[in-house]
Every structure is written in C-alpha cells, then in structure tokens.
Structure 1
Amino acid sequence: MARPDRYYVTTPIYYVNDKPHIGHAYTTLACDVLARFLRLDGVDVHFLTGTDEHGQKVEKAAAVKGVAPQTFTDEVSQNFRTLAEVMNFSNDDFIRTTEPRHIKSAQAMWTRLVEKGAIYLGSYAGWYSVRDEAFYAEAELVNGKAPTGADVEWVEEPSYFFKLSAFEDKLLAYYDANPEFIGPRSRRNEVLSFVKGGLKDLSISRTSFKWGIPVPGDDKHIMYVWLDALVNYMTAVGFPDESDPKWSRWPANLHMVGKDIVRFHAVYWPAFLMAADLPLPDRVYAHGWWTNEGQKISKSLGNVIDPLKLVETYGLDPVRYFLLREVPFGNDGDFSHTQMIKRINTDLANDLGNLAQRVLSMIGKNCGGTVPQPGPFIEADHELLNSAKALRDSVRASFLEQSFHKGLEDIWNVVSAANRYVDEQAPWTLKKTDPARMATVLYVLADVVRVMGFLVQAIMPASGAKMLDQLVIAEDKRSFAHIDTALVPGTPLPAPQGVFPRYVAPEEGAAQ
C-alpha cells in the first residue's frame, strides 16, 4: 500500500465515568503503533485521543461521589492522561469535551445542521440506556434490557430530532461506493444490516438533566452526548474555523473504535457530516473485545484488567507487543497470563532477543568488537537481507489495513529465518575453517538485527532504541529514510546488553 503524505488518526474519546481498562489501552495502542510507524516512514501524522465528559451517566457518577460534574471530570480525565504517559503513547493532542474550543465547535455544528434543515423540534418517548447513552427501539430490547445488557428506562420529553431517516439511501450508496469505509468485514456487514433495516429520526437533545452543551438558541435543551462527542474529531483540527491551517487535515484518515460504538461512527457520524455538507472520514475500524482467561470482563465479576498493573508486572514493551500480536486485530481475544509469559519468553527473549545477543556477542568475541568486513555474498545472504529489507513495505501495508498482528507476524518470520540462518551457517565452525566467511555471515546477521531494530521502534519504542544503540545508529538516523543504509565495517560496537529478559514468575510465598 502506498505511503500517504499526511495521516490523521483518532481514538474514540473515552467516557469518564470510570477508570481506564485494557480496552482503552488496546484502542489507543493500535493508533499509537500506526502513528509511530508512519512518522518513522516520513508521514506527517496527527494523532488524537481524549475524554468524553458530558451526559447523564457522568452527572449521576459525580452525584454519587458528592462532587460537581466538572470536578469529577477533571479528576477522571487525568486518569486517561496518566494511562497515555505510562503506555508511552505519542498522541499529538488530548481533547476534552468540556473545553471551550469544543463547546464552540459542537454548537457551530448544531447551527450548521439547523441551517441545512436537518434538525426539527418534536417530543421523544422511548427506551433509553443511561450506561450506553443510547436510545433503543422496543424490538432491540433483549429480556427487557439493551442489546448490551444495560438497563433501560422509559423516557418522555421534548426533543430536537436529526432527520436520520433521510440518509438511509445515501448511506447505503456511500458504503457501496467506498467498500473500505468500515472494517473489518464483519462490522461492515453488521452496519449494512442495521441501515437496511430502516432508519428512524434520531433524538439529539435532552431536557431531563443539565450536564451537557446547551443547544444554541434554546438552553432548556442540551445536546445529545453522541452528537457532542463525535464533533471532537473536527474540533481538534480547527472546526469551525475553516481558515485554520489545521483544518486541512480533515477528513480524518482513520477513526479507530471498539465494536460496541461502530453504529455511532459508521451510521450517525457520516449522516451528520453529509447533512452538514462536510467531508466524511476515510475509514472507521472497529476492533473486538478482550475476555479475561475465558471470562467476559465485568466489574461485578471483579476481573477487569488494569493496564497499569500489567505494565508493572511484565514491563511496558512486552505488554505493548503482546496486545497487538496475540489476537488477529478486529477479532475478540482472550487475555491469559500464561500466553503473555509465553510471548515474552518465546517471541521476545528466545527469538529476537537471543538473535541480537548471539550475533553481537560473536562479533564482540571474534571480530574485535567492530562491525566485520564482509566478503562476497552468497544466495543465502541475499535472501535473508532482501527479506528483511522488504519488511518496511509489507508491514506498512498491513498496518494501514489495521492488520497489526499480520505485520508483526511478518517481522517475526524474518527473525525466525535469521535464527535458522545462524544454525545453518554455523559461524562458530567457520571461525576455524573460513574466518572470512564467518565475518560475512556475522555482518549479514548484524544488518538484519539493525533492520529489526528500525521496525520494532513503532511497537516497542524503548527496546527498538536499545537495539539501535548497540549498533551505534545515531539517533537522528533512525527514521525509515535510513533503513537501507547498511552498517559500516570497522564501526566499534559497545559490549552487547540483553534487550528482552525472560520473565520468571516470582515464587509463591516469596517476600514481596
């Protein structure tokens, strides 16, 4: 897939009624890895995350704590900033829907929709889930609850409506003309089925609570939290000031979301934008959910996975690697401590870590601690080097399709090939029989380790940096523009250090 010149990627803005969990970390991590990879690839990237701070659920959660909603959101929003720091996310902006820039933007969007004739005043009567901040038709209820399992309540109040029903055919035509607009395919099929089932006009204001953005010209109403929230993606790039240089970044290239909110992003959001005569994003990708050791994750079961504790236990880069490698991205996945340890000890310590350590140790021992001088390359050398150098393009293509697991699999296939090459070429034997050939083999391997270091920077930034430090690659020469610049023979190398230690579980009963 061709390298874009610019790329605007967003996470959903996270709802601040609770503390961050593994799902939040997972979504933002995928965006972070894509953003880091593309920046290394010379792309002008803008990466946005943030918090969604309005709505009845927040108002209720604040009341339970006995604090004002703004005080509550200030505290909980900070938890998401802390998560971003701990996980080493590289977002360029962090938006909060309580910020003046966003309130201005959301109200401008409302006014624009009114001017385009897409909003009218009526009254709403129907089922509403506070937890989901969503309205549900009678037919959607399952045993008296929302399809998500959330409780619903009957709501009757005056409401402004968005003419969603007018966009059914337009949306279907758009999906047909843009088959990659929704990914993966399973989510696309789900959205198509929903829209073909018929769209009703959408209630987009509330009067029964106050914590939200006032409707312009009618402050008895506040804006429906999802209309407010979705506009954040434009707020962050300057809307409504279309003369702002940042506005040239719109439309977004990718909205990354969880599968539970695909309807809002792939049906409501494009309809709002069509009605406002604004460009639509290129793609909405909805990934799956995690279970915990085979069980659905829920607070009532007490099995919520805290990403901060995972990092504390296993280290940051191994957690980042595991989350994107373990499960085909887009599918549901099961978190297992056994699998985490297996990935750390097999993929990281045994495969990549051992490759780097073995190669650099042999160079230190047999080549005077400097990059060896290679002789003529044979077919096996070319094959390994070429497979390593082809990775940048194949991994880019996978990541731009959100197939993060596939990109990582491709990298580790070359790591495995390099380990086989070590065994087949046996440089320890060549040391006695053909020292010049040994130098060539070690040079080829060192250069492959270098390419691996370049590529894993996006997934495991600290570990990639350590690998490149050991090959004395200057910090300003670590972008992909330099990935084809081979190692210079005679360069002195530092004594090798292990990058990926094995994980050894603490013995039960041992002093903590």
Structure 2
Amino acid sequence: MNKIFNIYIALTYTNNSPHIGHLYELIIADVFKKYLSLWYKARLIIGSDDHGTKFKNTAITVNSFPTKISNLNSNKLLANVSRLKIMINDWISTSQKRHIRNICYKFSLIKRIKKLIYKMYYCGWYLPISEVFCSYNVVKFSYNNMFVTNNQPVEWLEEDSIFINYNSIKNKIIAIYRANKIRTPNIKVSTLFKTLVNTKNICISRRKLLSYGIKLNLNSTYYTLWVWIDALFAYSNSWQTNKIHIVGKDIIWFHLTYYVVLLLVFNINLPQYIYQHQHLRYKEVKLSKSLNGRNYNLEKLPRYLICYLLCSRSFSRDIEMNNLDINKTESDLIKNLGNLTKRLSKLIKLHGSKIKRITVSDWLLYLYAKRFEVIIKRYLILFKLNMILNMLMEQLALINNKISNYKLWCNKNVRHKLYIYSHITAYIIFLLKPVIGNKTNIIINKMFHGDWQYMPFKKLNINKT
C-alpha cells in the first residue's frame, strides 16, 4: 500500500486551445489513476509545453506575447480539468524556473558524456510546422516549385547543432525492453522492435537563436533547445520513481527511444510502464480541433457518461466518434445499473436483506465477485479499461437476470438470495467508482435503505452530437 505510482500524460502544446484529444487523454488517465488508487497511492501529473517556433508565429499572427498565449491556453486546459472533476497532483511546464534550472545544470555536464551527446555541423531539411528534421527520402518536389513532406513545406538548414548519439546506445535500449525493465504490454513486439531499430541519431538543438525557448551556453556558443526534447526533460525531472506514461500513438516512438536515452544519459530512473492509446477520429479524420466549435461536442454530457463512453472502448484501434451512440451508452448504464439498484432497493424495502441460508451456487457467485480485484489488477497492467468496465457491466446484467428468473418479489423460498445479490451489486458499484464518481456512495446507501424512488441516472434524451 505504501507504493506510489506517478502517472504522466504528454505535455499539452499550448500554442492553441486544448482540443478533444487532450480531453480524451485526461479522462483515461484519470480513470486509470482512480483504479490504481483502490490498492496503491497514485499521482496524476499533467502540464504544458510552452516553447517553440509555433508560439512565435501564433504571437505574431494575433499581435500578442507568447507567454500570454501559453497562460491563456493553460487556463483553458485547467478549466476542463475542473469541469470533469479530475484531481491532479502536480503541474509541470517547460517555462517553470525549476525546469530551466535543471536543464541548464544537466547540459553543463556535457563534457562528461561526449560519446552520447556530441556537437556537429548539420545540413538538411527542417519541417517548421512540426519542428522536426526530415530525412531525404520523405522530401519531395511539389507542383508549385516547393520542397514538401506530407504536403507541408520544408526549409534547408545549415548550422552547428547538438546531437544525441542514439546508435551508440541502441543495443542497450533494446536489451532494456527485452528484460522488461520498461513494460509496454499494449504495444506489439514487432512494432516496438521496428521502432527501436529504425530510429537514428537526432538533433536536439537549434544554433539559430529563436525568440522563445531555453537558451544553452556551451563553450561560449549559444543554442536553443529543441522543443520536443524540452518537453521530455520536463517530466524526466519530476517525481522520478514508479513512473507510468500514457501517450498517444503519434508520439509514442519518441518516448520509447529518445526519452529513454535522456534518462540513461543523465542517470534518471526509468519508467515502469509506457502505455499507448489510440486517436479519436471523426469521419476517418483525426480530431484535433478546438473544444469550441467542433463537429462532435461532448461538453453537454455529464462526467460519468463521458468517462464510460470513452473508456469502454478498446485502445487497440482508433475510436470513430461518428459511430458512437450516446443514447445507447446511456441506456446501457440505466438498464444494467440504474434499474438493478431500483429493483433491489424495492425488494429490500418489502422483504429486508437478512441472510437465512446460502446455497453453493450463491456462495460461488459471491467468491467470483470477490476475485474481481485480481482480474482488475491484471487488466490494469495490460491497460484494458474497456475489459474492466465490460466485465462489471456483464456481472450486473447477470444479477438482473437472476432476479427475474427466481422471481424474488413473490417466491418466498429464494428470498435469502436477496442478501447475496444486493451485496455483490454494492461491491460492483464500488468498483465502478472511478467512472461514476462519488455518486456510488449515494447509490449504495439508497439501495440498502430501500429508497426505491431514487433515480441513480436520469434520462437525458441527448441526440447524437
């Protein structure tokens, strides 16, 4: 019970308003943390990435300052955290003084690690919109006489830069994953190995001085730290034990490779788990619009419905928002949980729930319910929140069917089953607390007091948004 896990999500890039993808990542991280908190202590750490050329361009466009833009969008993210009643334990940012001091100190030790981090004159293609350097094989010549990659213009750069020598440490990183020092249970082994093998040395600085970023002074030469490395350093320096990272599939490769290199280079504890989640898509297009004015709006839904809607889907493939049926999801909750608690509360009001005798089948059902903790722990390690929720809902449906089959409202010979069914239901409701929230305590209390007029969930009649 004394073990403390630190759960991280990717830092939000605050050059623009937070979008539905950030909302999705926050929700699954919060539900994961609350399930983990049933047996251990857990912290949820989120934050913002406040540096990069995008801030400079956005500030020029809106005639403002980069710090003002990052603060505004960070407050929007925190407003969503408050609205969804997500409890965070720390806020980290690339613009915090503690972060800047840590980076400057670590890079002052660069002379000791020349084999892993080195300086070299670099010339090649640079993609400004993503702030990444591109290899030659992905750059093409477009019809409008421009060099592009993925239909985005690139520019040619020649400058003195700092590089991570990934090739020199690649075999050690592969050995770390093979020895399960870092576990990635929901990432295919073939995908992981391909990522580790195909990754190359990477430039982590810009010799060209940018107006907004962390400046490094190395041997009287000034560099600006690359924005992606800047973000990785932010949570590599925070809460360094029992780390769990929940990362989107588009940037998972960066956390599997260069993030681990930085931890090894600067002698920081490795994370225990790195989990990958998929994207939300709308009509086969990744959702990345602002929360205001997008095609698919979840803001009107209560927290429990949003959590169940998103966490009851598998993270092994993208979630198509156009195919989600909110009314069906709401009906499932009302049918499996709401109606069951109302039936049990009415039966308890009529007959009470005192135990008189117990059959073998009832005892086996009770023991199976008590094993849910073991099953949930196993599914948590595999990052299968959908399996947890589906299992609990199936058990509630089973109890509902047994009440109907035995006709507990009129069959005096089987009224003793009411005690078993009510306590199993209460235990399952308790295990649904990470999704439903504090309402679980009210539901259990009303059920055992026979308040059958209490409505756990009200029908919202929300059409597909």
Question: How does the TM-score come out when normalised to structure 1?
Answer: 0.82
Cα distance in 2 for residues equivalent to 1:459 and 1:139: 46
Q: Is the 8 A contact 1:257 1:287 kept in 2?
A: yes
SS at match of 1:500: coil
Q: Is the 8 A contact 1:120 1:160 kept in 2?
A: yes
Cα distance in 1 for residues equivalent to 2:250 and 2:442: 38
Mapped pair 1:318 → 2:305: yes
Post-superposition offset of 1:284: 1.4
Post-superposition offset of 1:328: 1.0
SS at match of 2:462: coil
List per-residue Cα deviations over 1:113-148 (Å, max 9, x = no partner).
Answer: 44322333322222222332322212244776546x
Which residue of the partner structure matches residue 203 of structure 2? 202
Equivalent position amino acid for 2:172 in 1: K
Aligned positions of 1:211-360 closer than 5 A? 211-217=212-218, 218=220, 220-237=222-239, 250-297=240-287, 299=289, 304=294, 309-312=297-300, 314-325=301-312, 327-336=313-322, 338-346=324-332, 348-360=333-345
1:466 to 442, 451, 454: 442
Q: Is the 8 A contact 2:19 2:289 kept in 1?
A: no
Cα distance in 1 for residues equivalent to 2:148 and 2:122: 19
Cα distance in 2 for residues equivalent to 1:21 and 1:299: 5
Cα distance in 2 for residues equivalent to 1:146 and 1:91: 38
Equivalent position amino acid for 2:44 in 1: F
Cα distance in 2 for residues equivalent to 1:114 and 1:468: 62
Cα distance in 1 for residues equivalent to 2:250 and 2:217: 30
Which residue of the partner structure matches residue 400 of structure 2? 419
Which residue of the partner structure matches residue 367 of structure 2? 386
SS at match of 1:47: strand
Cα distance in 1 for residues equivalent to 2:428 and 2:165: 52
Cα distance in 1 for residues equivalent to 2:111 and 2:339: 63
Share of identical aligned residues, percent? 21
Q: Is the 8 A contact 1:252 1:282 kept in 2?
A: yes
Cα distance in 1 for residues equivalent to 2:359 and 2:170: 61
Equivalent position amino acid for 1:425 in 2: Y
Mapped pair 1:452 → 2:428: yes
Moved more, 445-454 or 111-120: 111-120
SS at match of 2:427: helix
Question: How does the TM-score come out when normalised to structure 2?
Answer: 0.90
Cα distance in 2 for residues equivalent to 1:462 and 1:337: 30
Distance 1:258 1:198, change over 3 A: closer
Which residue of the partner structure matches residue 347 of structure 2? 362
Cα distance in 1 for residues equivalent to 2:323 and 2:199: 44
Mapped pair 1:158 → 2:123: no
Distance 1:151 1:497, change over 3 A: farther
**Aligned residue pair count:** 457
SS at match of 1:310: coil
Post-superposition offset of 1:103: 1.1
2:112 to 91, 111, 115: 115
SS at match of 1:376: coil
Q: Is the 8 A contact 1:20 1:79 kept in 2?
A: yes
Cα distance in 1 for residues equivalent to 2:265 and 2:324: 50
Post-superposition offset of 1:78: 0.8
Aligned positions of 1:18-167 closer than 5 A? 18-41=16-39, 43-117=40-114, 118-141=116-139, 145-146=148-149, 150-167=152-169
Q: Is the 8 A contact 1:128 1:154 kept in 2?
A: yes
Equivalent position amino acid for 1:443 in 2: Y
Post-superposition offset of 1:441: 2.4
Mapped pair 1:409 → 2:394: no
What are the ranges of 5 or more consecutive residues in structure 1 without an aligned counterpart?
238-249, 473-491
SS at match of 2:245: strand
